[in-house]
Amino acid sequence: MFVVFFCVGASTLSVSILCEDLLAYYNNKRLLRQEEESFRQLESLSADYDVVLEQLEGDPNVIKRIAPAVLGTEPEGEETVYPKVRAEQLAAAREALEEDLGEEADEGAVPIWVKRCCRPARRIILFAAGGFLVLVSFICFGPVSDKG
């Protein structure tokens, strides 16, 4: 019983003392995940641009094929069909991307128990309860001295 009371009390004391550090840890973890995602996107863009540059060096006609898509002009080829994207398709794609971003944002969120523990009144209560459990464990379950 001593070990149980002492461990619970010590962990409660630790959480109440290190609450701000836990909050900073989860916030830093979320920021790191966002920065890693930004880095991956930049690497992907860089790779895409490298491929386009290689194609431009190899075939000068690539500019004629890319220009309408980039500049938004009408294509020059009469025998080529260029599909148009409708607003409904763009809206559906945007919603799917936003759902993915929403799920990723939940992964890096600060746990609710950390937010609750960081409130000043609850921190004081946690500290007092943890101290009380440690005292109870030493007083009630400590070694018994034999006075005889």
* Ordered per-residue pLDDT tens for the chain, 148 residues: 888 888 999 999 999 999 999 999 999 999 999 999 999 999 999 999 898 888 888 887 877 777 776 776 766 666 666 667 677 887 888 888 888 766 555 566 888 888 888 889 999 998 999 999 898 888 887 777 766 5
The pTM of the whole model exceeds 0.75: no
Nearest to 11 by CA among 119, 114, 141, 126: 126
Per the structure block, which two tokens stand in for 86? Answer: 């409708």
Whose CA is closest to 22, among 106, 124, 111, 119? 111
What's the CA gap between 148 and 76, in Å, rounded? 108
Is 109 in contact with 30 (CB distance < 8 Å)? Answer: yes
Amino acid at 42: L
Nearest to 131 by CA among 7, 4, 13, 11: 13
- How many whole angstroms separate alpha carbon 70 and alpha carbon 68? 6
